Amino acid sequence: MAQHKPSQENIQRRPVRDTDRPFLLRVFASYMERSRELMDSDIPDEIWDEMVRGQFDLQDAHYRDAWTDGGSFEVIEIKGKPVGRIYLWRGVDQGVEQIRIVEFTLLTEYRNQEIGSQVMREVLAWGDDVGLPVRTRLAPFELSQSFLARHGFELLEDEKTSLHFERQPSSPGAPDAEAEPASTSD
């Protein structure tokens, strides 16, 4: 049976709320399942769940500390139902003004339905509109490398534990200090 792919108008993004924390933990846990598969260990579920909660708390605190100035923390929804998260940041890092995809994860059951591609096209359009590269990084084991390649990203740097990717704007323009991603709602 083919999966139903949501139409573009059904995919929305909104700012993260305090009440989203249980959902955000669920998204993080779905991402961590890949690590668990690769580890091929016999860690009991209760210990694994506690470890995932601890890692989520650390990641969340780090993101809010490091990326708040210029950052946008958003929940991805389909018809009002949360299905993922995307955290974006606009600023200067190592002398390069950029848009950084800090975090972009969909729940497993919503992957491969064009949802991620639609959200990525919106982020890339923002980069094109303001004339800035869009950058992100992945761990070498992450399966998202082909997704990034399909959207025009190229490997910028391989640090062995972290792969840095960049997509240059297709229509370079003067950076616009006021421009925001078009689909972000308040």
Q: Is 5 helix (H, G, I), strand (E, B) or coil?
A: coil
pLDDT at 177: 42
Phi-psi region of 72 (alpha: psi -120 to 50; beta: other; left: phi over 0): beta
Q: How many CA atoms lie within 13 A of 64 on its CB side?
A: 9
Task: Decide the pairing of beta strands 81-93 and 71-78.
Answer: antiparallel
| In the chain, where the domains are located | 8-167
Fold of 8-167: Aminopeptidase (3.40.630)
- 185, with CB counted inside 10 A (0-12, 13-18, 19+), is exposed
pLDDT at 33: 82
pLDDT at 171: 63
Rounded CA separation 85/106 (Å): 6
Q: Is 21 helix (H, G, I), strand (E, B) or coil?
A: helix
Dihedral pair phi/psi, residue 77, rounded to 5°: -130, 155
pLDDT of 22 over the 70 cut:
yes
**What pTM did the predictor assign?**
0.84
Give the confidence band of 41 by pLDDT, cuts at 50, 70, 90: confident
96-155 pLDDT tens trace: 999 999 999 999 999 999 999 999 999 999 999 999 999 999 988 787 899 999 999 999
